[in-house]
Amino acid sequence: DSPRGCRRRVSLSGDTGAAIAGSNEALAKIPDDPLAALIKAMALFKEGKIDRARSFFETAVKNGEPFTAEIAGAFLKVPGVKG
């Protein structure tokens, strides 16, 4: 399995701690990885850490392919997420 495939499975499993850990590994290697940023942002969002999630959503919008950027952008429109 590729690291991206592994992160997707972890993200979809609902285990926010594992999603954050996997995303941290990917972001340590590629700091502007939009998929890793989106997964980390969604995990932080789920944990209620909205302020910490914001910058990762912004990274996904800035660097992501259209679909990834659109998902991240939708989260930034949620009240309380946009700075």
Q: Report the pLDDT value the prediction gives residue 10, as an integer from 0 to 100.
A: 53
In whole angstroms, how far apart are CA 19 and each of 40, 58, 71? 6, 18, 17
Q: Report the pLDDT value the prediction gives residue 79, as an integer from 0 to 100.
A: 83
pLDDT at 3 over 80: no
- Alpha-carbon distance of 28 to 71, in angstroms, equals 23
pTM equals 0.83
The answer for residues whose C-beta is within 8 angstroms of residue 17's C-beta and 6 or more apart is 43
pLDDT at 9 over 60: no
